[in-house]
């Protein structure tokens, strides 16, 4: 059994569009108080396919059972009734992604595995809600979130800021939350919905920010800021992702679904929750 450490974001054979759509119609749209803000459902994922992340979750997207779970997940998320779906890919390849989406629409009984969770879930939710396209909001920037580990493992280097706190966050990230740690230790045995519900718990989103950036605030050599400098690049990347979200033309009647790696979800949460433009809904309500 492998403990999940986040570093950083079904085919029901013979299933028809009407089956999924009927399932959606049985559930009303979110009943939160109507405001002039644009409603956002911000959902964190692990990557289904190949990933450059330091740790990969074992997930066989070709497995029939896993695909059935993905279909169920898509139906759950489609209950939000999004009008805009934003995915973790660069806007520059929007044409390629949307060509793949149109190809999927020609034969929706088979999930598109071309882009991992982006196409398997994102395309299917878009299909259920009758959307004509999806949007990419990612941005790529190079940064080294392992610089603290490098310093700790290099005898001639010394972390001159706060190695005790850095190592505590690295080795015992959920020490203050024993129940959450217990769920995390059992991660591999959870259903897909349970896995995603765990990833989207506020405590786990906070942890993903610590793991990807904030723990580097405790890292430096001499009087430099090598850790903070790398963390700043991660923040900068997510600021650009948020800016890409705001490039999309939308109005108060739109409903925006964002599917990204959970570290990006955690950062976007910080921007969205204090935005005068957006109202962020409770993701966990859609992962039951």
In SS3 terms, 178-202 reads as: HHHHHHHHCHHHCCHHHHHHHHCCH
pLDDT score, position 9: 39
Dist. CA 81–CA 103, nearest whole Å: 22
Over pLDDT 70: what percentage of the chain?
A: 83
- pTM (2 decimals)? 0.84
Whether 213 and 145 have beta carbons less than 8 Å apart is answered as yes
Is 24 or 11 the better-scoring residue by pLDDT?
24
Residue whose C-alpha is closest to residue 198's, from 213, 182, 175: 182
Mean pLDDT of 103-113: 94
d(CA 89, CA 261): 11
**Tens-digit pLDDT profile for residues 21-71:** 444 444 444 444 567 899 999 999 998 854 444 444 555 666 788 899 999
Q: Would you kindly state where each structural domain of the chain is located, as residue ranges?
A: 38-141+251-265+277-285, 146-229
Rounded Cα distance, 106 and 191, in Å:
29
Summarize the chain as % helix, strand, coil (round to 5).
50, 10, 45
Each residue of 138-192: pLDDT tens digit?
999 988 989 999 999 999 999 999 999 999 999 999 999 999 999 999 999 999 9
pLDDT for 65 equals: 87
pLDDT at 199: 96
Q: Mean pLDDT for the chain? A: 87
| Cα-only R_g, the chain | 20
Residue count of the chain, please give it: 288
The pLDDT score that the predictor gives to residue 109 is: 93
């Amino acid at each position: 059994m492998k403990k999940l450490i986040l570093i950083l974001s079904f085919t029901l054979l013979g299933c028809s569009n009407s089956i999924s759509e009927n399932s959606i119609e049985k559930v009303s749209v979110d009943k939160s108080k109507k405001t002039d803000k644009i409603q956002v459902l911000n959902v964190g994922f692990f990557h289904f396919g190949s990933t450059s992340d330091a740790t990969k979750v074992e997930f066989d997207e070709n497995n029939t059972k896993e695909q059935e779970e993905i279909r169920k997940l898509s139906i759950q998320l489609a209950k939000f009734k999004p009008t805009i779906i934003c995915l973790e890919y660069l806007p520059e390849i929007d044409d390629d992604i949307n060509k793949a989406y149109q190809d999927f629409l020609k034969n929706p009984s088979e999930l598109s595995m071309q882009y991992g969770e982006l196409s398997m879930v994102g395309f299917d939710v878009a299909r259920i809600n009758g959307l004509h396209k999806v949007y990419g909001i990612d941005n790529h920037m190079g940064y080294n979130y392992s610089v603290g580990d490098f310093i700790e493992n290099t005898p001639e280097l010394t972390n001159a800021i706060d190695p005790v706190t850095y190592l505590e966050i690295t080795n015992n990230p959920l020490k203050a939350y024993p129940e959450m740690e217990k769920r995390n230790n059992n991660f591999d045995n959870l259903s897909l919905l349970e896995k995603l519900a765990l990833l989207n718990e506020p405590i786990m989103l906070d942890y993903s920010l610590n793991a990807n950036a904030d723990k580097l605030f405790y890292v430096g050599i001499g009087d430099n800021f090598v850790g903070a400098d790398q963390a700043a690049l991660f923040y900068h990347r997510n600021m650009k992702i948020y800016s890409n979200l705001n490039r999309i033309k939308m109005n108060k009647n739109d409903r925006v679904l964002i599917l990204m790696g959970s570290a990006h979800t955690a950062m976007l949460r910080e921007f969205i929750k204090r935005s005068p433009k957006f109202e962020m809904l409770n993701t966990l309500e859609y992962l039951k």
